[in-house]
């Protein structure tokens, strides 16, 4: 994205804020005075609406007890399905293809246990070497459950430079012995977006099912999972979607797989009209609801109700445009203000390949992150040398981005980071 008449001045930042069509949503969030939050790609901030719907669900429990299943502000029995409808517009699925349930890794286990059906020479799972470790652990364990050697049967596509993946390399690895592919939509370190449509078409041309981990894209960029014919996807709702720490995740299952028995079945896999019949034969829902396992974690789901109200009003396309613009502004400032200070932008510069955060590489990254926190900036560190900065479209201002870069410049000029050890804290 090209910024018109880009300038490094505070006045220019304030002018961008005046022009920002999403600026009023900033008032929806609890922003800590004297602090600038740049870690929304790890944990989104609390909104007043999320707080309200959590309190409403507590009131439902207090007022109705067991009748909260069907009564109150947010009845529990259809809560996951109702939220699935709202999420479906953000990920590009039909209302029946999306459900709020589980957590990222639990949902991955559910989906792999369902769609990994080794047959003949097709026994391998294809992933990549840059994906989030939890996904690898889950895939390794699913292979072990099937009696396969995890080192021999899990293929991890290598990166050419340690930052990015090339779709050509992934497609080349789609060999005849691959039964299933699981890839990220956005790489959690560099912020690179993979070409989901191209990879899905290539996998299906080889007769391989393919799914995506959308943790670092859901709520930040639009998806069209159904149109792209993706087989399945899963994500957390506590990053860009601001659903709260440990909040319940979400998953998408393509409608052409409806009727398939879930690999990990439970009573919430049931068709709703049969669920309380208490039969010992499961009648799975003819929707993504079949891939639920247990009772919804109501008090962990509740904040998402309010959060998704905001996303419905703001619109995911508008959020994406603001995200691209404010991240480009950050990149431009880094290029001009932090030149010759040892920084390298490890995030793709092309709009189509960049997600919702900027990865700033530096040999002293851990120390710099500690110094940023001392100066009231909340960044995110990824070993060994990455400072992730995430200007979030709904609550980060251009003026805040300008201040972050100025503070970084001061930290480097005054060598403030030298007061700290260059190692991560217990939680990075």
Q: With contact defined as beta carbons under 8 Å apart, do 244 and 300 qualify?
A: yes
* Residue 104 labelled as part of a binding site: yes
The sign one gets for the Cα dihedral 248, 72, 289, 355 is: negative
* Residue 134 labelled as part of a binding site: yes
Q: Which residues contact 426 (CB under 8 A, 6 or more apart)?
A: none
* Residue 151 labelled as part of a binding site: no
For 57-75, b/e burial (b = at least 16 CB within 10 A) is beebeeebeeebbeebbbb
* Residue 216 labelled as part of a binding site: yes
* Residue 238 labelled as part of a binding site: yes
* Residue 380 labelled as part of a binding site: no
* Residue 213 labelled as part of a binding site: yes
Specify which residues 416 forms β-bridges with.
Answer: none
* Residue 132 labelled as part of a binding site: yes
Distance CA(323)–CA(357), nearest Å, equals 9
* Residue 295 labelled as part of a binding site: yes
Residue keyed to tokens 């995911």: 316
Question: How far is residue 90 CA from its own chain's centroid?
Answer: 12
Distance CA(388)–CA(411), nearest Å, equals 17
Binding residues for pyridoxal 5'-phosphate: 104-105, 132-135, 213, 216, 238, 267, 295
Q: Per the annotation, where are the binding residues?
A: 104-105, 132-135, 213, 216, 238, 267, 295
């Amino acid at each position: 994205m090209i910024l018109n008449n880009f300038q490094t001045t505070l006045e220019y930042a304030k002018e961008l804020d005046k022009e920002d069509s999403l600026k009023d949503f900033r008032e929806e969030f609890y922003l800590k005075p004297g602090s600038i939050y740049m870690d929304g790609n790890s944990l989104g901030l609390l909104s007043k609406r999320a707080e309200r719907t959590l309190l409403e669900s507590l009131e439902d429990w207090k007022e109705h007890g067991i009748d909260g299943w069907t009564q109150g502000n947010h009845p529990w029995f259809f809560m996951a399905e109702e939220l699935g409808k709202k999420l479906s517009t953000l990920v590009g699925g039909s209302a029946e293809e999306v459900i709020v349930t589980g957590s990222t890794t639990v949902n991955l286990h559910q989906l792999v246990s369902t769609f990994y059906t080794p047959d003949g020479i097709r026994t391998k799972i294809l992933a990549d070497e840059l994906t989030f470790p939890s996904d690898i652990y889950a895939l390794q364990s699913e292979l072990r459950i099937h009696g396969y050697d995890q080192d021999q049967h899990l293929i991890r596509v290598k990166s050419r430079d340690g930052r990015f993946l090339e779709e050509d390399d992934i497609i080349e690895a789609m060999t005849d012995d691959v039964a299933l592919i699981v890839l990220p939509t956005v790489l959690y370190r560099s912020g690179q977006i993979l070409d989901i449509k191209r990879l899905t078409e290539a996998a299906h041309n080889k007769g391989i099912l393919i799914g995506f981990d959308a943790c670092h894209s859901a709520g930040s960029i639009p998806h069209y999972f159904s149109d792209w014919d993706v087989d399945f996807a899963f994500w957390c709702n506590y990053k860009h979607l601001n659903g709260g720490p440990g909040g319940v995740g979400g998953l998408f299952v393509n409608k052409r797989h409806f009727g398939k028995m879930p690999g990990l079945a439970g009573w919430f896999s049931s068709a709703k009209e049969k669920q309380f019949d208490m039969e010992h034969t499961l009648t799975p829902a003819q929707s993504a609801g079949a891939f639920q396992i247990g009772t919804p974690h109501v008090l962990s789901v509740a904040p998402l109700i309010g959060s998704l109200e905001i996303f419905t009003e703001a619109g995911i396309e508008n959020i994406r445009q603001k995200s691209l613009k404010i991240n480009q502004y950050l990149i431009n400032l880094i290029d001009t203000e932090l030149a010759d200070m040892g920084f390298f932008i490890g995030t793709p510069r092309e709009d189509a390949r960049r997600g919702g955060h900027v990865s700033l590489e530096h040999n002293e990254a851990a120390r710099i992150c500690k110094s940023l926190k001392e100066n009231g900036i909340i960044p995110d560190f990824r070993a060994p040398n990455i400072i992730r900065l995430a200007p979030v479209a709904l609550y980060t201002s251009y003026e805040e981005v300008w201040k972050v870069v100025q503070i970084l410049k001061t930290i480097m000029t005054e060598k403030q980071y030298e007061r700290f050890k260059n190692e991560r804290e217990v939680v990075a």
